[in-house]
Amino acid sequence: MLRQRLFVGVLLLLTILSVVVVRQSRMPSIEVVPQMLQNGDIIFVDLYAGWCTATYWDHVGLYIEADGSQGFRGAGVIEATYNGGITFTPVRSFLQRDAHAEMHVKRLKDVADRQGIIDAAAQHALDQVSKPFNFTATASIPLKINPDNFHCGEIVWRAFLAAGLDLDTLGGPFIYPDDIYYHPWLESVDHES
């Protein structure tokens, strides 16, 4: 009985400490406006103030400037949503919907064939629109083993992978937004960029 109480006490203490740490450890956040975005930018979103069950960033999407060739025209974000699968969300709608959240934008650095990589990633992402959502990700199990349904990190990762760039910094069977966020070929974007 004493062991159980001790275990519960330690668990409670760890929970309280995690609350303090999460509330004090913030990622860099900026106000994202459409004018600062470029084709191929990756938008990271923290909807729950650091309370994602596995990583800091809860959601991620790929900014696309669509030319209308696939029925999509204008600025939008390719994202995976549980109620719509893979969607092309107009950028203003995306930013307005998540205006209460913290956001950060990363951009592919100046690497060889940068524009070719971005164009191929954007095309691949557009090709996935209307595919179903991978519901295992809602249980913090964002597997990357099924190319027929996607979660948010997977759609961005697969888009760049199809373009020849693996943005998964950790490897393995999972892909979280943070795995993409820390890739060394990505750089942060701010209003002046």
pLDDT of residue 127: 94
Chunked mean pLDDT (size 10), the chain, 193 residues: 64 48 56 92 85 77 89 92 92 93 95 96 95 78 80 94 96 92 94 55
CA distance 142 to 58: 11
Q: Write down the domain spans for the chain.
A: 28-189
Q: Which two tokens stand for residue 3?
A: 């062991």
State the fold for domain 28-189. Answer: endopeptidase fold (from Nostoc punctiforme) (3.90.1720)
